[in-house]
Amino acid sequence: MEIKILGPGCAKCEKTAKLVQEVVAETGAQARVVKVTDMMQIAGSGVVSTPAVMVDGEIKSTGKVPKKGEIAGWLK
Partner 1 sequence: MLKSINETTCACQVPPKGTVETNPSRPTWMLLLAAPLGIALWWLVYTHLAAFSQLLTYRLLPFTPGSHLGASVEFFLYDTPKVMMLLVLVVFGVGVIRSYFSPERTRALLAGRSLLAGNVLAALLGIVTPFCSCSAVPLFIGFVTAGVPLGVTFSFLIAAPMVNEIALGLLYGLVGWRVAALYAATGLTVAIGAGWVIGRLKLEHHIEDWVQQMTTVGDSPVENRLTLWDRLVYGKDAVVEIIGRVWIYVLLGIAVGAGIHGFVPEGVMAAVMGKGDWWSVPLAVILGVPMYSNAAGIIPVVEALLGKGAALGSTLAFMMSVIALSLPEMVILRKVLKPRLIAVFIAVVATGILFVGFLFNAVMG
DSSP bridge pairs for 53: 5, 61
Q: Which is nearer to partner 1, 1 or 9 (CB)?
A: 9
Q: Identify which of 13, 14, 66, 17 has the alpha carbon closest to the alpha carbon of residue 3.
A: 17
65 is catalytic: no
Return the number of the residue (31 or 36) whose C-beta is nearest partner 1.
Answer: 36
**Is residue 69 involved in binding partner 1 (CB under 8 A)?**
yes
Number of residues that bind partner 1 (CB under 8 A): 32
| Beta bridge partners of residue 35, listed in sequence order | 5
Residues tagged active-site: 10, 13
